[in-house]
A = this chain, B = another copy of it.
Amino acid sequence: MGLSKTDNFTAEENELAAFAKALGHPARVAIIKYLSTQASCVCGSIVEVIPLAQATVSQHLKELKNAGLIQGNIEGNSICYCLNPEKWKKFKAMLEPTFNYIEQPVCC
């Protein structure tokens, strides 16, 4: 159908899926990586770094913002996009059980 049946799953499952989905595109991974390492967060410099058209980058930024992974702050004439620490901590916390599980000897 092309329509995820989100109603059948828990809020936590849906939220983790939303975080993961937002990160599920190389351009968005590149944006997050850039924001994790650079001091700069101006939208314009993100557009310069990502090898896609400005409209497309803007669309990817919107998806990351919708998922909550980044937030945009107006900075004079431009916009500063930054990681949202709270959401990233939540993301990390939701992955932790699986990250811990695989440290033990796994079945099969």
| A residues in contact (CB < 8 Å) with B | 4-6, 8-10, 13-14, 16-18, 20-30, 32-33, 36-37, 39, 41, 51-52, 71, 73, 75, 80, 82-83, 85, 88-89, 92, 95, 97-99, 101-103, 106-108
- Asked if B17 and A23 sit within 8 Å, CB to CB, the answer is yes
- In-complex Cβ contact of A16 among B14, B23, B80, B85 (8 A): B23
- Asked if A98 and B9 sit within 8 Å, CB to CB, the answer is no
Q: Specify which chain B residues have a CB less than 8 angstroms from the CB of A103 in the assembled complex.
A: 85
| 9 shortest interchain CB distances as A-B pairs | A21-B24, A9-B26, A20-B23, A8-B51, A85-B102, A20-B24, A36-B101, A13-B26, A24-B24
Q: A33-B13, A39-B107 are in contact. Are A51 and B5 (CB under 8 A)?
A: yes
- In-complex Cβ contact of A41 among B36, B75, B108 (8 A): B108
